[in-house]
Amino acid sequence: MTESPVRVERDGDVAVVVLDAPPLNLFDETVFAGFERAVAELVALTEPGRPDRARAVLVEARGRVVSGGVDVHAFQAIAEGPDPAGQGTALWARLLRMAQTLEDLPVPTVFAAHGLTLTAAFELALACDILLAAERASFGLVEIVVGLTPSMGGPQRLAERAGPARAKQLIYTGERYPAAELERWNVVNRVLPDDGFADAAREYAHRLAAGPTVAHAATKRLVGTAVRDGVRAADAITPQVSGPLFGTDDLRGAVASFLADGPGRATYEGR
CA atoms within 13 A on the CB side of 13: 20
Return d(Cα 209, Cα 218) in angstroms, integer. 15
Which residues lie across from 131 on neighbouring strands?
111
Q: What is the pTM of this model?
A: 0.96
- Residue 263 CA neighbour count, 13 Å, CB half: 0
E-state strands within 114-181? 116-118, 130-134, 138-140, 177-178
Distance CA 190, CA 19 (A): 21
pLDDT 10s per residue in the chain (271 long)? 457 899 999 999 999 999 999 999 999 999 999 999 999 999 999 999 999 999 999 999 999 999 999 999 989 999 999 999 999 999 999 999 999 999 999 999 999 999 999 999 999 999 999 999 999 999 999 999 999 999 999 999 999 999 999 999 999 999 999 999 999 999 999 999 999 999 999 999 999 999 999 999 999 999 999 999 999 999 999 999 999 999 999 999 999 999 999 999 999 999 9
Cβ proximity of 54 and 42 under 8 Å: yes
Q: Are 201 and 14 in contact (CB under 8 A)?
A: no
